A and B are shown apart, each in its own frame.
Chain A
């Protein structure tokens, strides 16, 4: 595409100026050509009329003199012809010349020949068609022609002719040929003046349009700039309103919108602060008594050997439930942090293979209890990533714990794949699996795959939901696959650098071992 058109699409000013110039070019062109043709035809008509009148009187005079010379000697007649030519021919310094041509009519068979043309004008300058018309008519006849001189010069001209009788020589055609060089010059001059006037007019129109467009576009540009800054977070930006025109109306409308947005944002920010404050307070208020409770329960539990069996068992339950309560509290606080959008990433460089292995080792005991094992397989021995290690560890633990819960005494396979930009971890179990309905709800808070199944590990029901939030906080993704009775597959994909986005799925969600 033409670059100027491409630019015009992006600039209002250029667009308006360009279309104004194109339209005015059309208008100036049409007006100019109309003016030019009217002027030139007027000038031609005036010249033509005066030329014909002049020719008529010249030819009439010549005719009269020939009549007077009737019966004279040839030398007298010759003198009359010369006189006629010299009086009809003007030799002036300017080019407004007149030439005279005598042609013998073809029907004339007399011996004496007076055919002549003044000033070396070539008789071919008289068009054949004009000669024919002269022969047929008794009046003067005219036609535009080109005057050719035997010396080579040629100018446009007008030939006016009539039949004359030369005494003792028969019928001749007498032509007066007017040079139109001056008229041509005048017309050319008019044409070039019109052209210059047109160009100046166009330039002026362009300048005026530019000035006008600037007046309109400047505030529009200003509005666009302010709107952009507003979008990028500077909510104090306002448009300047000077007058009462449409631009100012736009400005006022924009300012009102900005005002109301600023208020809304301030309100939301305040709400978020209140929420954050509340979370922090609840956290503090609950944790302190919980700490006391836990320490007290531990102190009691230490002497459990001296208790009778029911009290000893009750102590065990107390300790276990306090553990669970604490986990639930942690998860709830984390969820509320996500909801308040105050969760922050604390990215560090670490080896994710090492982290996966450590999580698997930590959970090996629990896995053993459930008669399953976790096998970790990595594509590379070391995969360094920059991420929030606490959150990544929590994702891995939640996914592994979930797999252990549903493994049904079959092994669990964990694989790690990495590309230049991304890293993916797939956790595959071959246990109860998930059906379609379960897949859509598996990341819902407090959702249970099968309400009749006991939550054996005392999970909080928030693990997968938090894992998903953690993955998304890294611009990563966590996806689940499952088939009833065929196990489940959870794949987490994370960018290797913080704030990058993931651009691939390194581990296909449908496991390679699964065939329908």
Chain B
């Protein structure tokens, strides 16, 4: 059974989230204070964390950083503000996705959670290469010269999406639907922030990326190292 940790200080909303998720066949662990998260997290590691930004004790962005320091578990931030600073801060702290309250439908929330939980690219077999990296999709591993690089699930999915079709230029919208499962969204911040995070982990020089290359005004593509 899948376990989702719901961190929200609003008891009623937390209970409602519990009802909806349980109804979808997901187990729920409710936490209402930011400073209690890590204890619960270590005792009973969840498959996904649903994390509110405003929390008593410790704020959601700090909690997000703490979780990322120990685990690659998918994190979806819940934000009451549509304000960019908070969203970007959350994403930079390591969140994979975010949802702004109020959600359109409970089904939307569940769909997002499922997207983050599913084993993406299960159909891709064997090894992929991108730049000087080797990707073992099945084993969920990235290797550079035999050494493993730790990526979150989302970063992994993003890299695989680019590596699967080396010649293709992905628009931000295309990546949003491929990796995040959004039907049509214009929220390019998600893509931008995650590409930056991914680059900081895999590029030799993140200022001059060679593996995930920006195509100005269009989007991104897999880079060819050593030129051709």
> A interface vs B, CB < 8 Å?
280, 283-284, 287-296, 298-299, 326, 344, 346, 348-350, 355, 358, 384, 389-390, 393
Alpha-carbon distance between A350 and B107 when the two chains are bound, in angstroms:
30
Most chain B CB atoms below 10 A, which of A280, A291, A296 = A291
Confirm or deny: B163 has a beta carbon within 8 angstroms of a beta carbon on chain A: no
Task: Name A344's contact: one of B16, B84, B217 (CB within 8 Å).
Answer: B84
Cβ–Cβ < 8 Å partners of B17 in chain A: 295
Alpha-carbon distance between A295 and B102 when the two chains are bound, in angstroms:
9
Cβ–Cβ < 8 Å partners of A298 in chain B: 105-107
Alpha-carbon distance between A56 and B103 when the two chains are bound, in angstroms:
131
Instruction: Give B187's nearest chain A residue, CB to CB.
Output: A390
Are the CB atoms of B83 and A349 closer together than 8 Å?
Answer: no
Are the CB atoms of B102 and A389 closer together than 8 Å?
Answer: no
Alpha-carbon distance between A299 and B16 when the two chains are bound, in angstroms:
10
Cβ–Cβ < 8 Å partners of B187 in chain A: 390
9 A-B residue contacts at CB 8 Å? Answer: A288-B10, A289-B12, A290-B101, A291-B101, A292-B12, A299-B19, A299-B20, A350-B186, A390-B186
Cβ-closest 5 pairs across A and B: A291-B102, A284-B80, A291-B101, A287-B101, A287-B80
Most chain A CB atoms below 10 A, which of B16, B19, B20 = B16
Confirm or deny: B118 has a beta carbon within 8 angstroms of a beta carbon on chain A: no
Are the CB atoms of A389 and B13 closer together than 8 Å?
Answer: no
Are the CB atoms of B106 and A299 closer together than 8 Å?
Answer: yes
Are the CB atoms of B102 and A326 closer together than 8 Å?
Answer: yes
Are the CB atoms of B23 and A299 closer together than 8 Å?
Answer: yes
Cβ–Cβ < 8 Å partners of A350 in chain B: 186
Alpha-carbon distance between A447 and B12 when the two chains are bound, in angstroms:
37
Cβ–Cβ < 8 Å partners of B13 in chain A: 288-289, 291-292
Using known A-B contacts A292-B12, A393-B186, determine if residue A284 contacts B106 with beta carbons closer than 8 Å: no
Contact with A along B1-25 (1 / 0, CB 8 A): 0000000001011001101100100
Cβ–Cβ < 8 Å partners of B208 in chain A: none
State how many angstroms separate the Cβ of B100 from the closest Cβ of chain A.
8
Are the CB atoms of A284 and B184 closer together than 8 Å?
Answer: no
- Name the interface residues of B1-59: CB closer than 8 Å to any CB of A: 10, 12-13, 16-17, 19-20, 23, 54
Are the CB atoms of A295 and B20 closer together than 8 Å?
Answer: yes
Alpha-carbon distance between A346 and B182 when the two chains are bound, in angstroms:
20
State how many angstroms separate the Cβ of A100 from the closest Cβ of chain B.
108
Contact with A along B76-109 (1 / 0, CB 8 A): 0000110110000000000000000111011100
State how many angstroms separate the Cβ of A38 from the closest Cβ of chain B.
86
Alpha-carbon distance between A368 and B105 when the two chains are bound, in angstroms:
24
Most chain A CB atoms below 10 A, which of B13, B103, B189 = B13
Cβ–Cβ < 8 Å partners of A293 in chain B: 102
Are the CB atoms of B105 and A280 closer together than 8 Å?
Answer: no
Contact with A along B104-124 (1 / 0, CB 8 A): 011100000000000000000
Cβ–Cβ < 8 Å partners of A290 in chain B: 101-102
Most chain A CB atoms below 10 A, which of B84, B184, B188 = B188
